[in-house]
Structure 1
């Protein structure tokens, strides 16, 4: 536990909050099941699951058991939720956890007679792997949905939904955009027992007018990128109506977010475990950051006690920053303010080893500092939003525009996605049936997987770009091969291919391709002003 300096949570200050903060975590990975293992592929899922999803939800569970409520707004994309419930993924993750424990044992043997700090690193890894195995076998063996549904029903967190495969929505035509959102919201309803009212819009991507489609699908609130809204800089009302709709937009607070998540943010401190330095025989990470210009072989061994002390300092720094901001805004306006700090969930534990400890410390310390922690949904239910905003076309990508997903480096991918979408809509119109068709359903599924925003993001950022290109071309190739069979009328071969593809590309069993055919046809699918925009 992290102890901070703000005193008794039941103090007068705690009972009379000076303002509130919403902590928003966005959990997402693309569809990785059956698509490679190492260095990307299922290994990516297993690392994030073990290092982030298990410990972060364990923090929420412990605090919920103490009676705390409204701790987080936790976005879980439908494509990630599908993997966290998938029998294949559950089996493979269980095996991976056992292998992690074996690797820790191996490292302990290798480092016998070396620096005692290295032996403690191995021992700590063994304890963490044993803890993860216990948590998985006792709480997660039926998947993530029972865990999330229980915490949601207890009021400990709000679960945010989103479009099915995390597409960059502004580059989709209206029919496919709304279809992807409906599939995603239905998936949340099936897994959690209730349709999410709030969503995390993929990449915080926005184009004017999208709010009307959100409203039509029952979305009540979402997060937008504060840095893309200069008119809100320093504003004390980050909670606004979006355009001329009733959808509420929460502007992500750039200052608070960058205090944690930037080159100069907390995770880069010299005392924290270094993400990039590996002991390759064991796969463990035995070093602390030490210094930015220190070569991997010269980095000092990780010291958990030293890191824990630094976590406490960084909890205090963040809470003090939140408190000071709220006091200044309350003094200036005469009313309590609300701040929104949003991050990727994978930052906590996977990228920043000590992140879950920091998160728990912050969630405990904020109320002690007189700051109320609320979910986005609670704010929507309790507060009147400020005056409407009309953001420009934007995202939280580089430049706050759309270049990551339709810039020069990914122009071919963007064009390929448009062709997949065009053909999917055309086939949907020409092959409508009164009953569900597993061939058209798989055609729909491959199209949604092909237009995932991740592939262009990875190519533009040069992060496993070859893997991303392979995946994008693979799903588009499957789509076109199946579409060719449909157009030729070769039903038998189309059925056989659809069944084979469903074996490894099978999320969203409820997906019904007829939904796309039933979508609103009153708007053109490909507005030129949207497709060509780069910011």
Structure 2
């Protein structure tokens, strides 16, 4: 069979900490929708590949803050209730929308069965089996998904170490690679990664000046940066176009308001919700087959062009948010499976970033500029004028956090909770949501409430108090149970 080259699919699974912080329209509902519609079907797909003995199917990033929620007893109970409510909503629509109700009943019944038989003890046991079988390569990351270039180096190192340690606790091993939050990079961060044992990370294609045909060691380090191939990645989803906008696919934004179910297909970009046509699964299935074939053809053509350019088989890395598959794009998991099954037959080696390194897809060293995968491929989404208040607030939190006395001989639960609140305040999600005008009020509230709680705990601790308040807040904001504030001192 022709060796066209190597393809790596990288999925980035991330949501900010949402438990106990509102439900609708932003909050826990966001978590449960993504869990039901993306995480359950994507993991089911991977387990089926594992049962077939397939290795290195894809590279799966799971941020520590998301993993904490998917293992959290409160969130597990909440999802179970949400899935049951989904089934009740399907029943309620049976007289008005019988075809839709039947489809949603089957989907909710399947999801309840998968959750009750595979997920009741959390995500970590499921994920660990996929990692141990080498079906996936796992990428970790810093604890609460901060925009690392805007962190003080000591906080950057502490956050990364805390995140890697938490992942190791959950799955029994430390990831050798990370998804750098927002694919953000500042010169010198490769040395932070090397000290933490990180061997590879993701950047966006322009960070490597578009030369993404191989991983590239960064600077004088041996830490390898892989860049998204935008020519291929944007075929699925770009700021303007992509497969999910096809008229046959289920429309994400149109609801049957009495039931909360989604009855319509996209129909057209400028079609009003009331005028959209009913969803037709057969039409959607035809679109999945068409788009899977188109994507495979796109990958093959790209690999052939790179082979002609470089004189040898090359690499294509396509990377997306996991939540695209199933949550935002209802048919995404079916498309994903079709692509992963079609590519080998087209002469493309499918593997992970680890597998790409093992296959020799590592080029010459490169100096990477300050960059991200946000608008403009720079840092403007996270430090631009629209988020000047958040940037200033984060700087103040960092100053106070660095001044915190954590030199005690034993763990201090007040200091530990103060650090948790600070890390949550420094999440990159809040600035992103404000810049993109996506639930901006909620995002500002979250940044402020965690900063306020951090300062409250610091003040109580100085007064020799705070244990009751720290225990109370840990019930609400309790990720990273082993987080030890004393690590800030080193």
Aligned-partner SS, 1:390? coil
Q: What are the equivalent positions in structure 2 for 1:244-323 lying under 5 Å apart?
A: 244-262=220-238, 263-323=240-300
8 A contact 2:199–2:223 mirrored in 1? yes
**Offset of residue 237 of structure 1:** 2.9
Aligned-partner SS, 2:438? coil
**Offset of residue 484 of structure 1:** 1.3
8 A contact 1:314–1:358 mirrored in 2? yes
Structure 2 residue 76 is the aligned partner of structure 1 residue 90: yes
8 A contact 2:183–2:204 mirrored in 1? yes
- Which residue of 416, 431, 444 corresponds with 1:456? 431
Aligned-partner SS, 1:160? strand
Cα distance in 2 for residues equivalent to 1:329 and 1:163: 33
8 A contact 1:311–1:354 mirrored in 2? yes
Q: How many residues align?
A: 489
**Offset of residue 431 of structure 1:** 4.2
Structure 2 residue 476 is the aligned partner of structure 1 residue 501: no
Aligned-partner SS, 2:482? coil
Structure 2 residue 29 is the aligned partner of structure 1 residue 57: no
- 1:78-109 superposed Cα distances (whole Å, 9 cap, x missing partner): 00000000000000100000000010111112
- Which residue of 149, 162, 167 corresponds with 2:146? 167
Cα distance in 1 for residues equivalent to 2:216 and 2:45: 30
- 1:237-263 superposed Cα distances (whole Å, 9 cap, x missing partner): 331001211100001111111100123
Match of 2:135 in 1: 156
Aligned-partner SS, 2:61? strand
Structure 2 residue 4 is the aligned partner of structure 1 residue 25: no
Match of 1:478 in 2: 453
8 A contact 1:236–1:329 mirrored in 2? no
Match of 1:521 in 2: none
Q: What are the equivalent positions in structure 2 for 1:255-404 lying under 5 Å apart?
A: 255-262=231-238, 263-383=240-360, 385-404=362-381
8 A contact 1:307–1:354 mirrored in 2? yes
Match of 1:81 in 2: 67
8 A contact 1:271–1:310 mirrored in 2? yes
Match of 2:413 in 1: 438
Cα distance in 2 for residues equivalent to 1:31 and 1:297: 35
**Offset of residue 264 of structure 1:** 1.8
Cα distance in 2 for residues equivalent to 1:95 and 1:373: 38
**Offset of residue 236 of structure 1:** 6.1
Cα distance in 1 for residues equivalent to 2:395 and 2:311: 50
Cα distance in 2 for residues equivalent to 1:120 and 1:279: 13
When structure 1 is superposed on structure 2, of 137-146 and 330-339 the one drifting more is 330-339
8 A contact 1:24–1:72 mirrored in 2? yes
Cα distance in 2 for residues equivalent to 1:395 and 1:329: 24
Cα distance in 2 for residues equivalent to 1:155 and 1:123: 37
Cα distance in 2 for residues equivalent to 1:503 and 1:97: 24
**Offset of residue 381 of structure 1:** 3.0
Cα distance in 2 for residues equivalent to 1:38 and 1:315: 34
Match of 1:526 in 2: none
- 1:129-172 superposed Cα distances (whole Å, 9 cap, x missing partner): 00000000011111111111001111110110000000000000
Cα distance in 2 for residues equivalent to 1:36 and 1:221: 36
Match of 1:466 in 2: 441
**Offset of residue 421 of structure 1:** 1.0
Match of 1:217 in 2: 196
- Which residue of 68, 89, 101 corresponds with 1:103? 89
TM-score, L = length of structure 1: 0.90
**Offset of residue 468 of structure 1:** 0.6
Match of 1:36 in 2: 22
Cα distance in 1 for residues equivalent to 2:333 and 2:21: 29
- Which residue of 124, 127, 141 corresponds with 2:120? 141
- 1:347-367 superposed Cα distances (whole Å, 9 cap, x missing partner): 000000000000000000000
**Offset of residue 413 of structure 1:** 0.7
**Offset of residue 51 of structure 1:** 0.5
- 1:477-503 superposed Cα distances (whole Å, 9 cap, x missing partner): 00011111222x232xx1111111111
Cα distance in 2 for residues equivalent to 1:209 and 1:277: 46
Cα distance in 1 for residues equivalent to 2:406 and 2:286: 63
**Offset of residue 326 of structure 1:** 1.3
Cα distance in 2 for residues equivalent to 1:121 and 1:64: 32
Aligned-partner SS, 1:110? coil
Flag the 1:505–1:404 CA change in 2: closer, same or farther, 3 A. Answer: same
8 A contact 1:145–1:192 mirrored in 2? yes
TM-score, L = length of structure 2: 0.98
Structure 2 residue 386 is the aligned partner of structure 1 residue 409: yes
8 A contact 1:164–1:183 mirrored in 2? yes
When structure 1 is superposed on structure 2, of 184-193 and 379-388 the one drifting more is 379-388
Cα distance in 2 for residues equivalent to 1:221 and 1:256: 21
Cα distance in 2 for residues equivalent to 1:229 and 1:249: 9
Unaligned stretches of 5+ residues in structure 1: 1-11, 112-118, 519-535
- 1:401-432 superposed Cα distances (whole Å, 9 cap, x missing partner): 111111111111111111111111101xx341
Aligned-partner SS, 2:370? coil
Cα distance in 2 for residues equivalent to 1:332 and 1:358: 30
